Amino acid sequence: MRSSLESLNRLLAEECNLSVFQRFDMNRKIRMLVEYIAYFKFTEELLAQFRSISPDLYEEINIIKDCSGHRVAVYVKFVPEKEMQYSAGGTTNIGHLENNTNVYDSEYGHYSVSVRIASVNRALILLAHEFGHVKYQVPNLASYVLFYAATYQQRPVSSSYIGHNT
């Protein structure tokens, strides 16, 4: 991303024959890259803070395994609040392989969990909460998927309530 940003800035500064539309598109891409880089740095900083505050939980999540003993990678991404679905403060995916509900699956691949946290004042509290979901769901995914389907997919539930049955 940094390399792309440098290239776009250089091209924009040096190329005189760009149309207004090309310049507009390049500036849009530059803004997008700047935001991605900023949130990447923000994520790194908050994860470092969380690790210093709660090293035991951080390490437990860092080396978590599923019920078969496979390590599961946990990907955390802090994002703008407007990007969160249903106005949720944090989300943890519950994707699994079609033929094996014990194997976690996310946009990062098999044996991976995706955690998204809104960049708000209480972001580290939200991360701790989502890590609680990860801590339970990874080793118990198959039974949790059954519970989730029976509890949340069979009747209407407030979207902010999903995953938090009383």
What is the mean pLDDT of the segment spanning 24-50?
94
- How do beta strands 96-97 and 100-106 pair? antiparallel
Q: How far apart are CA 67 and CA 62, in angstroms?
A: 16
**pLDDT of 138 higher than 90:** yes
Please report the pLDDT score of residue 44 as a whole number: 96
Q: What is the pTM of this model?
A: 0.83
Please report the pLDDT score of residue 88 as a whole number: 86
What's the angle, vertex CA 140, arms to CA 138 and CA 141, rounded to 5?
Answer: 65
Q: How far apart are CA 141 and CA 102, in angstroms?
A: 5
Q: How far apart are CA 138 and CA 95, in angstroms?
A: 11
**With bands split at pLDDT 50, 70 and 90, how would you rate the model's confidence at 163?**
low
What is the mean pLDDT of the segment spanning 64-89?
92
**pLDDT of 157 higher than 80:** no
**pLDDT of 103 higher than 90:** yes
**With bands split at pLDDT 50, 70 and 90, how would you rate the model's confidence at 69?**
very high
**pLDDT of 73 higher than 70:** yes
